[in-house]
Chains A and B, each alone.
Chain A
Amino acid sequence: MPKVMMTGDEAVAWGAIHAGITISTAYPGTPASEIQETVASSGTGTNYVWAANEKVAYENALGASYANQRALVSMKHIGLNVAADPFINSAFTGVNGGLVLAVGDDPSMYSSQNEQDSRFYAQFAKTFAMEPSDPQEAYEMTKEAFEISEMLHLPVLLRLVTRLCYGESPVELGGEKRRENELKIERDPKRWVVVPSHARMLHKSLNEKQKVLEEISQNSRFNSMILKSKKRGIIASGIAYAHAMEHWDGETSILKIGTYPLPMKMVREFLDYCEEIFVVEEGEPIIERALAQISPKIHGKLDGTFPRQWEMTPDLVAKALRLPYSPPSPIADLPPRYPTFCPGCGYNFTFKVLKKLNPQAIMGDIGCYSLAVFPPFEAMDTTVCMGASIGMALGLAYVGVKKPVAVIGDSTFFHAGLPAMVDAVHNNADILVLIMDNELVAMTGGQPTPASAEDGKTPVTLEQILTGIGATFDVLNPYRPEEELIAKFREMFEKPGPVVLISRSPCITEAKRRAK
């Protein structure tokens, strides 16, 4: 088959399609959104669902797996915090149909609020993880991950990073789409109902499985070793392996890691063979810490050979190996460039007015509107995580701050704002919730929200929800004259208790994209 250029995200999607998934579930999040986008546009008719949040997406996949179907679930690293509950517990219940969780980590935080390392989650859940070093491997690993998942009856975590997700290289797709599993339900409440008496047994059997996980890792073709020079060796995993190989002199011994738990027999052989070892890994020093406990030869992030934060690069490897490295100095005093709202976006007008009214506290959230922190608006005081705007505004109101503002997007409201909104009404909290409604998930490329009527789906509107919980709300058209906007805001500020203002302006960038 001819090779085609593919990103890591695309390769994961095709791996899952060829592995015979019945469904792909996801909540959008950079750098993983394009996995689901690829499934959606694959032309294979594979069923896919954008869930309201990552927890729901994971539970959808687990439900499908319960009925013996193969399921792919994808999300960004921070999304796994939201899905952590079902993920961790599904290692206890185990899975029936293969379940693969593809997570996009974002080292250096190109589009995220932190750079947490998802490999921790695999350790936490005591399940198997795989880490591809390029798109070809991402494709092959994804297919194999489904086999391993069904063999172990465990979810398998595929750890991706931005440079893999958005890095493109030639990929050779192999073979045909595997037949989907037979749809069947076999009740097994001792496994699937995690009441304490069952859970105690499930934890024991999960622990007993660990030996098998290690054996699979030990024999995996995704781990490999080149024993050459005894003086110096490199242990590298995932995309960091590619950065390390960039500087390979043909002499240094190499141990490539692609699966977790670590293939310890191989690792011990390597540790015995080499006198000095560099561990090159993306994210936290997970491999390094495991090895530093058993060998004094290890260099990495813990001893300062590499920085503790931000992404691994070929530059850092060159410096660590003391190779010639003298880049030119950066050009000083260049005019800065801040990301901002697209020209003509309604957000421009809403934030201009909000800035003028200068409320005591503006609690922000995750989405395009977080850009309001930058000039010329500077109208955002906090941004912590999905849904935190309303939850934190409630905290302020509970301690006596008058009418703090919570700014939250429509998709984020559905994702994690809803429970806090219910609390706001229940506690009659004195807050103003400003819902920035652009009628889709804009920042990640225009995915639909539950309010969308696309593909014959039933729109669940903000108005229906707010009416249902008895919240006072009004709708703002940000394209109206400024005095009108100010008057509307003032009116809402003066109402006691929780009030909601929906600033509605469909995303113009998405409208332009669709017009093409």
Chain B
Amino acid sequence: MKKIDLVIAGVGGQGNLLLAKLLSLVALEEGWDVKRSEIKGLAQRGGSVLSQVRMGEKIWSPLIQLGSADFLLGLDPVEALRNFQFLSPEGKALVSSNFAPNPIKFSEEEVLEKARSLKFLLIPALDLAKKVGSPQSANIVILGALSNFLPFSLSTFEKIMKENLKRLQEENLKAFALGREEIQRIS
């Protein structure tokens, strides 16, 4: 039975919820059942934000069981590692190598080393988004990277992005393409 479970880890203000929304709409457009779950409120104030998107023939629970996510998407390397428990042994982690600001001091190199040792596919999502002149599109870079692995047509991704991203549409489509190419380059 077809089923894809995705966890999106990040911090407030990174467009985590928008990324989850676009993914769920793409799946819905392709005729899949979808459930999406997120945590708001306190979490929005610079804390960790976690979204879960589940798609398949019939989805019951909005929650993904630990050790069973097919994809771990990270908008920040630390947050991705914090949610590593969700990833299934066969799952893939597509993670930004750029860090979200955190007043706590730590070694970024150690964190990235840990991520590499767990076979995370690291993408400089923020750098790539800046390249197209839209730093807030790092989430769309990750979406582009992910699109390589999902059984959905490119035209569906484009349709959903055009319908739902009213601002910076050009930049977002470019960010998507860069993310998509980056994965083809590194994997």
Residues of A near any B CB (own CB < 8 A):
3, 5, 30-31, 110-111, 134, 162-163, 166-170, 239, 242-243, 245-246, 248, 313-315, 318, 325-331, 334-342, 368, 371, 376, 443-444, 516
Determine if B113 is an interface residue (Cβ-Cβ < 8 Å).
Answer: no
8 Å CB contact of A339 from B47, B62, B82: B47
Question: Chain A CB within 10 Å — which of B39, B63, B106 has the most?
Answer: B63
B165 at the interface (CB under 8 A from A): no
Chain B stretch 77-105: residues in CB contact (< 8 A) with chain A: 78-79, 81-82, 84-87, 89, 102-105
**Stretch of B30-38, B122-130, B139-147, B170-178 with 4 or more beta carbons under 8 angstroms from chain A:** B30-38
Chain A contacts of B12 at CB under 8 A?
339
**A340 in contact with B104 (CB, 8 Å):** no
CB neighbours (8 Å) of A163 from chain B are: 37, 62-63
By secondary structure, the A interface counts as loop
Q: Which of A110, A168, A336, A337 has a CB less than 8 Å from the CB of B35?
A: A168
Closest to A443 in B: B41
Q: B126-167 CB contact bits vs A (8 Å, 1 = yes)?
A: 000000000000000000000000000000000000000001
Can you name the residue of chain A whose Cβ is closest to the Cβ of B89?
A: A328
Asked if A162 contacts B39 (CB within 8 A), the reply is: yes
Q: A327-B66, A340-B103, A443-B45 are in contact. List 16 more A-B contacts (CB 8 A).
A: A110-B41, A111-B39, A111-B41, A162-B39, A163-B37, A170-B34, A246-B61, A315-B66, A325-B65, A325-B67, A327-B65, A336-B104, A339-B45, A340-B47, A371-B42, A443-B41
Q: Is the CB of A327 within 8 A of B85?
A: yes
Q: Are B63 and A5 in contact (CB under 8 A)?
A: no
Of A162, A245, A246, A339, which one neighbours B46 at CB under 8 angstroms? A339
CB <8 Å contact, B28 and A245 = no
Point out the residue from A166, A243, A315, A331 that lies within 8 Å of B38, measured CB to CB: A166
Contacts of B11 in A (CB 8 A): 337
Check A169/B67 contact, CB under 8 A, given A110-B43, A242-B62: no
Contact across chains for B34 and A314 when beta carbons are under 8 A apart: no
Chain A residues in 8 Å Cβ range of B65: 246, 313-315, 318, 325, 327
Q: Which of B41, B66, B87 has the most CB of A within 10 A?
A: B41
Closest Cβ neighbor of B47 among chain A residues: A339
Which one of A245, A330, A340, A368 contacts B61 once the chains associate, using CB atoms below 8 Å? Answer: A245
Residues of B within 8 A of A318 (CB): 65
A167 touches B40 (CB 8 A): no
Q: How many angstroms from the CA of A382 to the CA of B137 in the assembled complex?
A: 40
Given A162-B39, A339-B43, CB of A331 within 8 Å of CB of B114: yes
Residue pair B36, A5 in contact (C-beta under 8 Å):
yes
Question: B42 to chain A: which residues have CB within 8 Å?
Answer: 30, 110-111, 339, 371, 443
Contact across chains for B40 and A111 when beta carbons are under 8 A apart: yes
Whether A169 and B61, one on each chain, are in contact in the complex, defined by CB atoms closer than 8 angstroms, is no
When distances are taken between beta carbons in the complex, the residues of chain A under 8 Å from B121 are none
Let me know if B63 and A243 touch, CB within 8 A.
yes
The reply to whether the CB of B112 lies closer than 8 angstroms to some CB of chain A is no
Query: Taking A5-B36, A315-B66, A327-B67 as contacts, is the C-beta distance between A337 and B41 under 8 angstroms?
Result: no
* B80 closest partner in A (C-beta): A331
B4 within 8 A of A: no
- What are 25 pairs between A and B in contact, CB < 8 Å? A5-B25, A134-B35, A168-B24, A168-B35, A168-B36, A168-B37, A169-B35, A169-B59, A243-B63, A245-B60, A315-B66, A327-B85, A329-B85, A331-B81, A334-B111, A336-B104, A337-B11, A337-B47, A337-B48, A337-B102, A339-B12, A340-B45, A342-B45, A342-B46, A443-B45
Q: Cβ of B46 and Cβ of A30 under 8 Å apart?
A: no
Question: A269 to nearest B CB, angstroms?
Answer: 24
- Checking B37, B81, B103, B106 against A167 with a beta-carbon cut-off of 8 angstroms, the contacting residue is B37
**How far, in angstroms, from A76 to B38 measured CA to CA in the complex?**
17
| Interfacial chain A residues near B68, Cβ < 8 Å | 327
**Cα distance A328–B67 in the bound complex, in angstroms:** 6
A441 smallest CB distance to B (angstroms) = 12
Closest 3 CB pairs of A and B: A111-B41, A327-B66, A327-B67
Tell me whether A3 and B104 are in contact (CB under 8 A): no
List of A residues within 8 angstroms of B87 by Cβ: 328
Q: Which A residue sits closest to B68, measured CB to CB?
A: A327
Q: A163–B48 Cα gap in the complex (Å)?
A: 17
Assess whether A30 is in contact with B103, with CB atoms less than 8 Å apart: no
- Whether B37 and A166, one on each chain, are in contact in the complex, defined by CB atoms closer than 8 angstroms, is yes
CB nearest neighbor in A for B167: A516
CA distance A460 to B82 in the complex (A): 45
| Chain A neighbourhood of B103, CB < 8 A | 340, 376
B43 touches A111 (CB 8 A): yes
The complex places the Cα of A337 from the Cα of B45 at a distance, in Å, of 11
Per-residue CB contact flags for chain B residues 105-119 toward chain A (1 = under 8 Å, else 0) read 110000100100000
B1-17 interface (Cβ within 8 A of A): 11-12
